[in-house]
């Protein structure tokens, strides 16, 4: 009874904080605007990547019509150039046109506010994401509130499913997922900006639940192929919805290949291939553009600015920070150097495996990394955080996965010294990602700027990577012991 009361109290606190934290949805506007512009436009709109200016013009015109009822053209232009004057403009409308006019404009204030900040569109989302968002309500306020609570539900359900797949009772899983929602700053940031990371987490959690549950328990080849197909279909959805953590998707694909073997994998690929084809075709049908995926690839690739946003905007990319500090090397060069360093560290761990050649040792280490789906996904997440040219704070909502993985692995260590070491390594990262580091520094009397904290956070993946290396090395110990035991057994 008491845990249920705690859960309900935490849930009420989380919902109330979500309601209070509703903002304007600076990212969500891009998801909503594609369907909204197509619905409002008198002429046919083409690909959102090729026709971004026309999509923006449709919603800009609607906002200007609302303002035009109460403000002069010069006042509207001043407001567009200075969005921070919105509150003063609303007060002017109330004083000039009365309470009824003020209330009517206030109902549209979220749409008007976001439109002032998004007069030009930066449509970098995938065609699948935009196609799925066309079903949202045409009212921006209704769509944003619906999206926010869908994201909240997706985070809670995804976290609970993940914890349940790791053996936690449903009561504990719901309690912990609600606690995650309250303490994880990336999740609150995701809700505030209206991004897709919480829904993304739900898809990944479903894939991991399949891998940890029915796929692992499958007793015959037919069952393994069936559940492997479902897992690969979920991985395809996760990648096409938003390819941010493609390394995690590839790691899960490697886990399926390792679990099924080549012969079973070939049989299991048919269904995921059909699902992938359907997911690729859906935006073509909904948005009416056969080449929309090529438009998206071209739009993303036409300029490095589409990915490498400035550090001042909040980009937590490690290569971008290194390039800013040491500009002699390009962003791509730093990414390559980091990749080489990560591979070298994996090579050092692989050297612990006794095998006839370096290639065989590397293969053995890779197999140990991929055999556990939760660890494989966590490894892919760590790689992404280390190498990606763009890492927004709300991307880190996915840290629920390595967090659950670590609690599961720590329980397996049963007091081993490595549990204490790994916990000590991850504690500073946890403080950074939850926002507790600012509180700790404030109590200690240390003042740090936002830029300094951002720079430290950009390297907070490093303890996770070290812990992953310790995990892989420990997984190799039983293999090494078995190989060393073979000669003595045969001699006996």
- Give pLDDT tens digits for 436-455: 777 666 666 666 667 788 88
* Torsion 429-252-197-230 (CA) sign: negative
* pLDDT tens readout for residues 295-347: 999 888 765 556 667 888 889 999 999 999 999 999 999 999 999 999 999 88
Provide the percentage of residues in the chain whose pLDDT is more than 90. Answer: 49
CB 113 within 8 A of CB 59: no
Mean pLDDT in residue range 15-20: 61
Measured between alpha carbons, how far is 343 from 327 in angstroms, rounded to an integer?
A: 24
Answer left, alpha or beta for residue 274, where phi above 0 means left and psi between -120 and 50 means alpha.
alpha
179 — pLDDT class (breaks 50, 70, 90): confident
| Among 239, 266, 271, CA closest to 252 | 239
Provide the percentage of residues in the chain whose pLDDT is more than 70. Answer: 87
* pLDDT tens readout for residues 120-137: 998 999 999 999 999 999
Please tell me the least confidently modeled range out of 36-45, 303-312, 397-406, 425-434: 303-312
Q: What is the pTM of this model?
A: 0.90
Please tell me the least confidently modeled range out of 115-119, 302-306, 308-312, 384-388: 302-306
Q: In the 3-class helix/strand/coil scheme, how is 72-118 assigned residue by residue?
A: CHHHHHHHHHCHHHHHHHHHHHHHHHCHHHHHHHHHCHHHHHHHHHC
pLDDT > 80? residue 477: no
Residue linked to tokens 């791509």? 332
Longest dimension (CA), the chain: 99
């Amino acid at each position: 009874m008491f845990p249920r009361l705690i859960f309900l109290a935490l849930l009420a606190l989380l919902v109330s904080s979500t309601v209070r934290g509703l903002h304007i949805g600076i990212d969500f506007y891009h998801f909503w605007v594609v369907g909204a512009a197509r619905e409002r436009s008198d002429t046919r709109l083409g690909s959102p990547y090729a026709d971004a200016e026309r999509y923006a013009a449709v919603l800009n015109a609607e906002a200007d019509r609302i303002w035009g009822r109460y403000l002069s053209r010069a006042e509207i232009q001043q407001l567009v150039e200075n969005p921070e004057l919105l509150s003063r403009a609303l007060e002017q409308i109330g004083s000039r046109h009365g309470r009824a006019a003020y209330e009517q404009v206030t109902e549209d204030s979220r749409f008007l506010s976001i439109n002032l900040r998004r007069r030009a569109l930066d449509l970098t989302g995938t065609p699948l994401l935009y196609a799925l968002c066309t079903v949202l309500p045409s009212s921006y306020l209704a769509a944003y509130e619906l999206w926010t609570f869908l994201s909240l539900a997706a985070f809670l359900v995804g976290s609970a499913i993940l914890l349940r797949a790791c053996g936690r009772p449903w009561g504990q899983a719901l309690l912990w997922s609600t606690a995650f929602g309250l303490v994880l700053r990336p999740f609150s940031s995701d809700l505030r900006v209206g991004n897709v990371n919480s829904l993304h987490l739900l898809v990944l959690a479903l894939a991991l639940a399949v891998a940890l549950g029915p796929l692992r328990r499958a007793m015959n080849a037919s069952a393994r192929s069936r559940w492997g197909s479902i897992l690969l279909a979920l991985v395809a959805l996760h990648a096409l919805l938003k390819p941010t953590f493609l390394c995690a998707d590839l790691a899960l694909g490697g886990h399926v290949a390792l679990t099924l073997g080549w012969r079973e994998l070939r049989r299991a690929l048919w269904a995921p291939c059909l699902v992938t084809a359907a997911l690729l075709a859906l935006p073509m049908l909904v948005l009416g553009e056969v080449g929309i995926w090529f438009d998206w690839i071209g739009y993303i690739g036409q300029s490095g600015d589409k990915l490498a946003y400035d550090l001042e905007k909040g980009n937590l990319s490690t290569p971008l920070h290194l390039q800013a500090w040491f500009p002699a090397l390009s962003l791509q060069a730093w990414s390559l150097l980091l990749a080489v360093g990560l591979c070298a560290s994996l090579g050092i761990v692989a050297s612990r495996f006794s095998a006839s050649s370096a290639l065989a040792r590397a293969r053995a280490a890779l197999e140990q990394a991929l055999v556990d789906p939760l660890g494989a996904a966590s490894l892919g997440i760590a790689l992404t955080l280390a190498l990606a040219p763009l890492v927004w704070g709300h991307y880190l909502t996915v840290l629920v996965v390595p967090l659950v993985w670590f609690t599961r692995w720590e329980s397996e260590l049963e007091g081993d010294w490595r549990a204490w070491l790994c916990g000590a390594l991850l504690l500073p990262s946890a403080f950074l990602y939850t926002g507790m580091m600012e509180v700790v520094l404030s109590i200690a009397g240390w003042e740090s700027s936002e830029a300094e904290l951002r720079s430290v956070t950009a390297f907070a993946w490093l303890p996770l990577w070290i812990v992953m290396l310790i995990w892989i090395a420990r997984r190799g110990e039983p293999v090494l012991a078995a190989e060393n035991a073979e000669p003595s057994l045969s001699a006996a």
